[in-house]
Amino acid sequence: MYLLDTNVVSEIMAGNKTVVAKMISVSPSELVIPQPVLAEIFYGLSRLRKSKRRDKLEHRFDLISQQVRRCEWNDAVSQHFGEVKARLQKSGNVIEDFDIAIAAHALAHDLILVSANGNHMSRIRALRLEDWSLG
């Protein structure tokens, strides 16, 4: 199963053909989105001024939201978040809390994180990553 990162959902919303083709090739039952990704997308949309572009992106996000299940934030996610954040701080490889939260969902639920943010996410031990933007 695959957990979609914010940058992947954004690419789908933007109509990136490579990412959309990969998403379509996977069964919808194999895809999940964690709450931190939803929060980041809602934030990004809220920052846009009212326009046809914003309307189009909101419509595409609504379609994605209706088709892709949520990944629950439970105690296991919180535990992984704390462990990962502490490990990264000790090693001097700090990344943003939302990135850690997204990765913690993948770790806690044994999912493959789909992300184009390999530079940050590869710092997290045991995290399985795929970058669908590479084709």
Return d(Cα 120, Cα 97) in angstroms, integer.
11
Q: What is the mean pLDDT of residues 30-53?
A: 97
Instruction: Please give the mean pLDDT across all residues of the chain.
Output: 96
Pair 134, 113: CB distance under 8 Å: no
The pLDDT, as a whole number, for residue 105 is 98
User: What's CA 131's distance to the chain center, in Å?
Assistant: 11
Query: 77-90: per-residue pLDDT in tens?
Result: 999 999 999 999 99
Pair 35, 73: CB distance under 8 Å: yes
Strand partners, 113: 3, 129
Strand partners, 31: 2
Residue ranges of E strands in the chain: 2-4, 31-34, 69-71, 112-114, 129-130
Is it the case that residue 7 has pLDDT exceeding 80?
A: yes
Is it the case that residue 135 has pLDDT exceeding 90?
A: no
Return d(Cα 104, Cα 126) in angstroms, integer.
11
CATH code of the domain occupying 2-134: 3.40.50.1010
